[in-house]
Amino acid sequence: MKNIVVLGGGISGYGSAILAKKQGFGVFLSDSGRIAERYRQKLDEWGVPYEEGGHSEERILAATEVVKSPGIPETAPIVRKIREAGIPVVSEIEFAGRYMGRAKCICITGSNGKTTTTSLIYKIMRDAGLNVALGGNIGESFAYSVATGSYDWYVLELSSFQLDGMYRFRAHIGVLMNITPDHLDRYDHCFQNYADSKMRITQNQTSRDWFVYSGDDEVIWQQLPKYDLRVRQLPFAARNAVASGAGDAFLCDGKFTATAGKASVEIDMNKMRIAGLHNAYNAMAAALATLAAGVAPAKIRKALYDFAPVEHRLEPVAEKNGVLWINDSKATNVDSVWYALESMKRPVVWIAGGTDKGNDYEPLKRFARDKVHTLVCMGLDNAKLVGEFSGVVPEVVSTGSLDAAMRAAKAAARPGDAVLLSPACASFDLFKNYENRGELFKKWVLENCE
């Protein structure tokens, strides 16, 4: 009998373990930390053996195959030992993809915009009445959905870490939003390694499949000639003139027409509830992907116009005393903040900082100079931010806690301003994750601003 070991007991791990159990394999789940109560309950319910607080090496190294959670780096000692033993290591996506039957999948990746684009695609598909599940980086575990449901379509948000563990898996519709520097600490601080990871979204695609990508992203254009892509290409753009025999989308004067094959839809961005150039890209990608999936243009248009902003991504929290407070905690890299600042129509008090990932802040300085009158740095080590933006932004304030940062932002904000939490950094110095940071930001606003 095949013996599957699942490394990591988070959302991808528990789902993979349950799917392995359902497929009749021997299965064991191991987590070096604590497993959340809701996942432990599911594992108990399915009779899956597991451990937490450490790894039983002998049992793990007896595996036929290991399904590794994306948050566990290749440098982890147990992963190194698994590799040295010659045991295959795959991601949840690779593992679950073997058992999805005749279902098809739309897979979305990119350094920025993938959560909103994934959410848009899922809403369009669901509102059109299709039998669809949401998974990958958001929604339910893909493996758990495969184990417990029967779907015609899966809409999957994929990180580079999930793509790294995929080998035979194939996206019927692959979407690549952009490639900008991020997570370089996991890629030997080599941007090309990271770009190669993102381009894995195209692997195994055939001439029957579709590849949706940004025609404005120079890095993608540099990568494309390296691949013998036989897939139907659907570029989208707002700056470059792009065209493809299979279809494309182009933004002009606040409107775009998306075409895939013989189907087209025209969208007026002014009628959408989400604004900014970044959301125009997200909407174009979503329209192209769902046209490729066969959704009627009228249904795409209605769903796009109905869509509300994603939590923690340029999420308006409240307007208090003429000051608009905006939660953009999900902006954990420079490129995300570029789009956030680009979309600002008011003078800005900008809250940034956290765990710096080797950021180059130069691209932000033009918008910071034009739009930001106060930068509030929030982190345990603000020296780099302070140094980069002193002389660029009139006022730069260094704080070491959320409360201090919020009080400084409130004091600096004037009626007609926006206070924008858009950190450009990971959250791990002061918070559990970006969601925790965003939730605490919103809580503070609602409790301390009248």
> Catalytic amino acids?
114, 137, 183
Sequence-distant (6+) residues with CB within 8 A of 192 are none
Sheet bearing 210-214, strands edge to edge: 132-136, 153-157, 104-109, 173-176, 210-214, 232-237, 247-252, 255-260, 263-268
Sequence-distant (6+) residues with CB within 8 A of 366 are none
Tell me the C-alpha distance between 257 and 267, whole Å.
6
Strand runs (DSSP E) across 328-394, as ranges?
348-352, 372-378
Tell me the C-alpha distance between 93 and 165, whole Å.
8
Beta bridge partners of 136: 157
Tell me the C-alpha distance between 142 and 166, whole Å.
14
Q: What is the DSSP string of 64-99?
A: SEEEE-TTS-TTSHHHHHHHHTT--EE-HHHHHHTT
Structure tokens at 215: 């025609």
Q: Phi and psi of 71, rounded to 5°?
A: -75, -10
Alpha-carbon radius of gyration of the chain: 22
